[in-house]
A and B are shown apart, each in its own frame.
Chain A
Amino acid sequence: MVDQDCDNAVSYAEPRAEEAARLMRAVANKDRRAFETLYYTYSPRLGRYLLRLLKRREVVDEVLNDVMLVVWQSAERYDPSLSRLSTWLFGIAHNKALKALSKLTRHQVELSIDPIESDDFAETSDVTDATARSDQHNPEQTLMGRQLGRALQWAIESLSADHRSVLELAFAQDYSYQEIATALDCPVNTVKTRMFYARKHLAELMAHYEGTTQTIVRSNLP
């Protein structure tokens, strides 16, 4: 099931729709071998997605536990005519991740979810928040001597969980905006809006980064 797309990227191929449906029927009939196959097939992608959202491996392990238990309990509810199996699984994982995040934020952990944006493109406060978060990371130290890819990675991690989830599903999982809407259980326009603001925040953060590096370069000039 593992494909090497390129030197640096590892992805797990999605089984064909019929194969996925057969797998889920077996799981619904409490076939533990099928359940194990499901786990080894999908958990790398789900785990990566959860890690992107939650940032803590121990929390990811627990949430993935919960996700797999939900799959075991409600496998018969999966309808292959409505969505891909991975979309259904990402939907469960996303909901569990949001619950875990709210629990973590109650414990004052530095993680946050933006409130759901309106569908008009009139948001400004999040950019300021994201920039402020970037300052807490001490970008001068973080970015000095690092390459642009690392800076972009840092910028992505500075985004809110909702924005990270859209980026992850679109770019790492290659989901269409309709599939993301299904997985996140939100309107298509909300997906587009979140993607819009995610890119906008990244633009702000990268501009901040570029400004910082220029300042550092200038200050190092004789």
Chain B
Amino acid sequence: MTTPKNTAHHDHDYVWALLPWYVNDGLSRQEINEVQTHIKDCPDCQREVVRCGELSATVKTNRSDEWMPSAPHFAKILANVDAFERRQEKPQRSSNWIAKWLPWFDVTPGPARFALALQGALVVALATTLLVRGLMPVQPYTTLSNPGAPFVVAGQHVRLVFSDDITEKELRALVLGVEGRFVAGPSSQGVYTIVLPSSNSNVQPIAQVLAQLRAHPKVRLAEPANVTVE
């Protein structure tokens, strides 16, 4: 191997630089002509052509640098490809969503961003609360009245008709005297319904209660009703 002489003119340097590609047939037709014209009269370049040929042969014939493909290696490559494909599939949806909204978010002023973020957080909190409540078991709403069901009071029902001149005080004393309670009335015919306590050891028999009621001078009618609720 030789280096260009310090005194060599431009053509020599130019051709000397091209010699590796002259050897590997990598020059244009014009460059080949230039090289051939020069090396006819340049022993340095002639020797360099030979050396480049030796170098080329050495590089080409170095078998220690051979690398052979193999099925296991290709399997590793495919595993990498599969991993890459999986990564691509997952974030694509979310990245599309982000890509759609990001420009809009970018042009939003800072305070508005904060307000929107707060609003968004509240919406999320509300939605979460509703969702949680929706998942909880429903408890019936209870009131003092139940208009859907018939008015039923447990006990023996008795229908009463009083004389017109009975006072409220007399009426109250009469009903309390038999431990009754008004549950209906007066009807259009002036009929009241009371209920007596359910039968137990401390309660008078119905016949005795009816006799007591009928004995009152201002009671016109005292009859047991057909309704008896336990």
Contact = CB atoms under 8 A, between A and B. Distances in A.
A142 interface: no
A168 B59 contact: yes
Interface in A157-193: 167-168, 170-172, 174-177, 179, 192
Interface string B87-110: 000000000000000000000000
Contact of B26 (A46, A57, A168, A177): A177
Main secondary structure on A side of the interface with B: helix
Interface in A136-159: 149, 152-153, 156
14 contacts: A10-B63, A40-B74, A47-B67, A50-B67, A57-B67, A64-B67, A65-B76, A72-B84, A153-B58, A156-B59, A174-B25, A176-B21, A199-B3, A199-B20
A73 B26 contact: no
A193 to B, nearest CB: 9
Given A44-B67, A171-B23, A199-B55, 9 more contacts: A10-B66, A44-B66, A48-B67, A152-B58, A153-B62, A167-B59, A171-B59, A172-B59, A195-B17
B207 interface: no
B136 interface: no
Contacts of A11: 60
A51 B3 CA distance: 29
A8 to B, nearest CB: 4
B1 interface: yes
Interface in A30-61: 32, 35-36, 39-40, 43-44, 46-48, 50-52, 57, 60-61
A206 B1 contact: yes
Contact of B24 (A9, A46, A152, A171): A171
A44 B68 contact: yes
B191 interface: no
A103 interface: no
A190 B52 CA distance: 19
A120 B20 CA distance: 19
A22 interface: no
A158 to B, nearest CB: 14
Given A8-B63, A200-B3, A192 B24 contact: no
A199 to B, nearest CB: 6
A202 interface: yes
Interface in B1-57: 1-3, 13, 17, 20-21, 23-27, 52, 54-56
B199 to A, nearest CB: 90
A48 B59 contact: no
A166 to B, nearest CB: 9
Nearest to B67: A47
Given A9-B61, A152-B55, A174 B81 contact: no
Given A73-B84, A177-B26, A202-B55, A51 B65 contact: yes
A204 to B, nearest CB: 8
Nearest to B88: A73
A65 B73 CA distance: 8
Contact of A176 (B1, B26, B59, B65): B26
